[in-house]
């Protein structure tokens, strides 16, 4: 299969070439059919704002098909809320804190991070078992390898290529496809102006958007959310093309497909934070041996994807792996899920959380720093710029002002998600919830201790990773602001904040 061929194209000749090319692809042998292919579809910067999770403004028929023909998990959560720690955890089935990969875009240069002894990326395990391993990029952004963003040192040879059509006849494949999704709205707006209208025909009406209560119904915020949902609609078409290609190959029913995101929506309180808008993820599994049309409410973590995949391939799950095969006969359901946020770019923070079915407990290790700390990556976004304008003009209500722009944060946050799904009423000081607070506080302490949470970087490591950020071509025109932000981080640290 050629990734640049199955992506949606609006030029008929290219689409015709794509269909014709399918007939020249190798097919799995009868023996190989007993060893399922494994396909991870990873969606960038997307939370659970999908119709199958309750979003009413859009339709996603191809993702809905996966739901009908597979199992949907309604309580799936990421262990990190930004891409590189999340992906480092995903590819190892380990908490990013345990493997020391918890700071965003860390492990650069002299600050290299190496996996603990015995731990290895999942593709290496599949490769050793005879699978063709590949990692392909978003097909509508060109041909070639897909995003990795692993914070640790890894061997490129764990991937045999970028496209499973390169495998030997009869060889099963382990594949990742990295879809751009929410990143489309991070550019200069050209994609939304030039591509989206041609592909989607009708764009989502901002007036149909429902925002969380901590956002004002401002035209900029409504338009941004509408664009985000249209990115999801575009991704649904891409998912449909992937399914069509597998069907044409005759491999769809021999392929376990797992669809999920790498972090929540990139806005003020989503990506980079441990509220559900930042860590709740779609998680849908379809394939041989997977119950069809089932919806599960048990708490799972995204690192379970590694163990699920090995289990589906009847490969042993290593003892060091912290993810769980949630389809195995001896699966033990979790009472809670855990997440961590650490340095993102030049901005230093440290947050930990534990979530049960009903409650969320968050611990802020730097409560004297504002939630919306200066961060070059986020401060360039239209939503953040607009929120800062509205705040400066006094146009936010008390809830919005208090949640987004309070100069300090609570050291502990506790939310009853059953009655407060948007996490706006902190119950940590409520005597009626003292028992719950104590229990979750202790649970988080145990998790941090047992998973060997290493905590913050040294200043030397921070400096090394900062210089790496400054060398990133994406930051070519933002070095001065990044250095100003870094200077503020050091100032706050010196003050004990």
- Around Cβ 167, how many Cβ atoms within 10 Å? 23
CA distance 310 to 231: 31
CA–chain centroid gap for 235, Å, is 15
Is residue 474 very low, low, confident or very high in pLDDT (cuts 50, 70, 90)?
Answer: confident
- Do 244 and 9 contact (CB within 8 A), yes or no? no
- Spell out the residues 6+ positions from residue 159 whose beta carbon is closer than 8 angstroms to its own: 123, 133, 134, 135, 145
- Around Cβ 406, how many Cβ atoms within 10 Å? 12
Q: Where are the domains of the chain?
A: 3-335, 351-494
Kindly report the backbone phi and psi dihedral angles of residue 460, in degrees, each rounded to the nearest multiple of 5, phi listed first.
Answer: -65, -45
CA neighbor of 160 nearest in space, from 179, 173, 142, 147: 173
> What is the DSSP annotation of 90-106?
HHHTS-TTTTT--STT-
Q: What is the fold of 3-335?
A: Alkaline Phosphatase, subunit A (3.40.720)
Buried b (16+ CB within 10 A) or exposed e, 50-86: bbbbebebbebebbbbbbebbbbbbbbbbbbbbbbbb
* Residue-level pLDDT at 271: 98
Answer yes or no: is pLDDT of 19 > 60: no
Kindly report the backbone phi and psi dihedral angles of residue 332, in degrees, each rounded to the nearest multiple of 5, phi listed first.
Answer: -105, 120
CA distance 453 to 112: 18
CA distance 425 to 198: 43
CA distance 410 to 421: 19
* Residue-level pLDDT at 78: 98
* Residue-level pLDDT at 187: 65
CA distance 345 to 351: 15
CA distance 255 to 234: 23
- Around Cβ 254, how many Cβ atoms within 10 Å? 19
Per DSSP bridges, beta strands 76-77 and 294-296 are unpaired
In this prediction, residues 339-361 reach a mean pLDDT of: 98
Q: 27-36, 47-56, 298-307, 407-416 — which is least confidently predicted?
A: 27-36
- Do 374 and 325 contact (CB within 8 A), yes or no? no
Cα dist from 278 to 52, 265, 366, 423, whole Å: 18, 6, 19, 12
- Do 150 and 109 contact (CB within 8 A), yes or no? no
- Residue 289: burial class (beta carbons within 10 Å; 0-12, 13-18, 19+): exposed
Kindly report the backbone phi and psi dihedral angles of residue 299, in degrees, each rounded to the nearest multiple of 5, phi listed first.
Answer: -70, 125
In this prediction, residues 338-354 reach a mean pLDDT of: 97
* Residue-level pLDDT at 29: 37
- Do 260 and 79 contact (CB within 8 A), yes or no? no
* Single pTM value for the model: 0.93
Answer yes or no: is pLDDT of 42 > 60: yes
Dihedral angle, C-alpha 142, 143, 149, 152, nearest 10 °? -160
H or E element that contains 335: none
For residue 483, give the 3-state DSSP assignment: helix
Q: 77-81, 149-153, 195-199, 335-339 — which is least confidently predicted?
A: 195-199
- Do 231 and 182 contact (CB within 8 A), yes or no? yes
Answer yes or no: is pLDDT of 141 > 90: no
- Do 355 and 280 contact (CB within 8 A), yes or no? no
Helix orientation angle between 459-471 and 479-494, rounded to the nearest 10 degrees:
170
In this prediction, residues 100-111 reach a mean pLDDT of: 91
Cα dist from 114 to 150, 158, 169, 343, 352, whole Å: 11, 16, 35, 19, 23
> What percentage of the chain reaches a pLDDT higher than 70?
93
Q: How many residues can be counted in the chain? A: 497
Answer yes or no: is pLDDT of 58 > 90: yes
> What is the DSSP annotation of 166-213?
GSPTT--EEEEEEE-GGGGGGSSSHIIIIIHHHHHSSPPPGGG----T
In angstroms, what is the C-alpha Rg of the chain? 22
Q: What is the pLDDT of the chain when averaged over all its residues?
A: 92
Residues 303, 305, 306, 308, CA torsion sign: positive
CA neighbor of 277 nearest in space, from 347, 344, 211, 189: 211
Kindly report the backbone phi and psi dihedral angles of residue 407, in degrees, each rounded to the nearest multiple of 5, phi listed first.
Answer: -70, -20
Q: pLDDT of 476-496, one tens digit each? A: 899 999 999 999 999 999 999
For residue 384, give the 3-state DSSP assignment: helix
């Amino acid at each position: 299969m050629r990734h640049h061929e199955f992506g949606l194209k609006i030029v008929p000749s290219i689409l015709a070439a794509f269909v014709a090319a399918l007939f020249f692809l190798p097919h799995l042998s009868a023996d190989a059919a007993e060893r399922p292919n494994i396909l991870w579809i990873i969606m960038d910067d997307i939370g659970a704002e999908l119709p199958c999770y309750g979003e009413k403004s859009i339709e996603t028929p191809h993702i809905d098909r996966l739901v009908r023909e597979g199992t949907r998990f309604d309580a799936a959560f990421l262990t990190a809320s930004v891409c590189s720690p999340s992906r480092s955890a995903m590819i190892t089935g380990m908490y990013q804190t345990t493997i020391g990969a918890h700071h965003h875009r860390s492990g650069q240069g002299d600050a290299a991070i190496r996996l603990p002894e015995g731990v290895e990326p999942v593709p290496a395990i599949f490769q050793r078992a005879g699978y063709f391993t590949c990692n392909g990029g978003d097909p509508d952004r060109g041909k070639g390898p897909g995003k990795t963003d692993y914070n640790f040192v890894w061997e490129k040879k764990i991937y045999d290529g970028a496209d499973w059509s390169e495998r030997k006849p009869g060889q099963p494949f382990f594949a990742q496809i990295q879809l751009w999704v929410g990143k489309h709205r991070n550019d200069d707006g050209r994609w939304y102006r030039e591509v989206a209208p041609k592909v989607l025909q009708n764009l989502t009406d901002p007036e149909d958007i429902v925002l969380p209560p901590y956002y004002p119904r401002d035209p900029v915020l409504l338009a941004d959310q509408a664009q985000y949902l249209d990115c999801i609609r575009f991704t649904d078409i891409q998912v449909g093309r992937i399914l069509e290609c597998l069907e044409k190959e005759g491999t769809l029913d021999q392929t376990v497909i797992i669809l999920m995101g790498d972090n929540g929506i990139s806005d003020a309180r989503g990506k980079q934070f441990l509220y559900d808008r930042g860590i709740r993820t779609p998680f849908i599994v379809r394939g041989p041996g997977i119950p069809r049309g089932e919806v599960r409410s048990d708490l799972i973590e995204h690192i379970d994807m590694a163990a699920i995949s090995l289990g589906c391939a009847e490969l042993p799950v290593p003892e060091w792996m912290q993810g769980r095969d949630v389809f195995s006969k001896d699966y033990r359901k979790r009472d809670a899920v855990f997440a961590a946020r650490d340095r993102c770019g030049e901005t230093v923070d440290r947050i930990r959380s534990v979530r049960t079915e009903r409650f969320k407990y968050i611990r802020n290790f730097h409560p004297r720093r504002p939630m919306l700390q200066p961060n070059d990556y986020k401060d360039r976004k239209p939503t953040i710029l607009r929120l800062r304008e509205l705040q400066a003009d006094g146009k936010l209500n008390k809830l919005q002002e208090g949640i987004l722009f309070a100069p300090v944060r609570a050291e502990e946050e506790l939310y009853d998600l059953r009655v407060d799904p948007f996490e706006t009423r902190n119950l940590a000081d409520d005597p009626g919830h003292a028992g719950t607070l104590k229990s979750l506080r202790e649970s988080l302490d145990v998790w941090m201790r047992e998973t060997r949470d290493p905590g913050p970087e040294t200043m030397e490591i921070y400096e090394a990773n900062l210089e790496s950020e400054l060398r990133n071509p994406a930051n070519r025109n933002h070095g001065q602001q990044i250095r100003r932000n870094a200077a503020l981080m050091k100032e706050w640290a010196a003050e004990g904040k």
